[in-house]
Amino acid sequence: MTTKRIAVLTSGGDAPGMNACIRAIVVASEGAGHTVIGFEHGFHGLLAPNWRKLDSKKVHNIIQRGGTILRSARCEEFKQDSAAKNAAKHLSELAIDAILILGGDGSFRGAKHLSKFWDGQVIGLPATIDNDIYGTDTTIGYYTAIQTAMDSIDKVRDTADAFERIFLVEVMGRHAGFLGAKAAISGAANYAILPELFTDPDETLNDIHQQLSIHRKRYGHESFIIVLTENLWPEGINTLAEKLENLTGGEVRPVILGHVQRGGSPVSQDRILATTLGVEAVRCVEQGKHCIMVGQQNLEPAEVPLEQTWETKKVFSDSLTRTMKTMLNERHSWDLTK
């Protein structure tokens, strides 16, 4: 087998498990005799160029660390042809055979753009807490973000119960509600406002009011938790809180989880997923694969053309939709006369 010079970078928003994937790539490559270098700060590292050699000693004991040892960034400059040509030049000068890019759809678009000007292998690995990448059931970092959001909802509920308040919990996922849906289900939220289910603000307010009325008849004036994805509500979460206070006559408190969702030690599912995909990516390099994403479908590795990952929209499964409608609908089966 011909040995390869493999490059790796992490791009876009960081996701717990990126380090686990980097470790897997290095360990799998080193075992097969390949050389690995890491570019720092995403695509900026390709342009500088800013890189360092990676080996098993350098990735020892990083599987449990959040963030990314290679740092990450978004790079608007890389959309320009001149930038991609410059990156291709640096890769050729370093005699790189393949580059593995960890990130989301923006990172994959950058990978595809690079492939137009460089004849080496380009392979993407899905790493984003939003889980909005088509062609893979889950993405690196998604499981940990759910855990973080769920833990936060649990803590919010404690204080919400103490004061009998309504709480709005804002999670990430401005274009996709996968994280919000799983956080709402696992945290036993009472309502969720997600891109896939949201239509009209007035209709949503009316629905929340009805749900809250039924909830209070059933349980009394206890807590009511609403999960909301970021930047979805017109004029923001604080405006929604004001409207709900005026509508319900109760206290409403907004809680924005923000970037805390990106941090923390990756949970076991993310470590296993990241490790599996890292090993599979090295195997794809050895097989000469190009312009693909290495994901996972039905617990098995899957290869998907890069452009398909953003050209096809990922949608809720039927089972997730049924679960959401069943568990977050106070009206579906209750006889309030009992």
Q: Is 130 designated active site?
A: yes
129 three-class SS: coil
Give CA–CA dist 306/77, Å, rounded: 20
Considering 130, 132, 137, 270, which one is annotated as catalytic? Answer: 130
Give CA–CA dist 216/219, Å, rounded: 5
> What DSSP character marks residue 140?
B
What value does the CA radius of gyration of the chain take, rounded to a whole number of Å?
22
Tell me if the bond preceding 254 is cis, omega within 30° of 0. Answer: no
Q: What's the start-to-end Cα distance of the chain, in Å?
A: 72
Residue 179 CA from chain centroid, whole number: 8
Residue 313: CB partners within 8 Å, gap ≥ 6?
Answer: 134
Catalytic residue IDs: 130
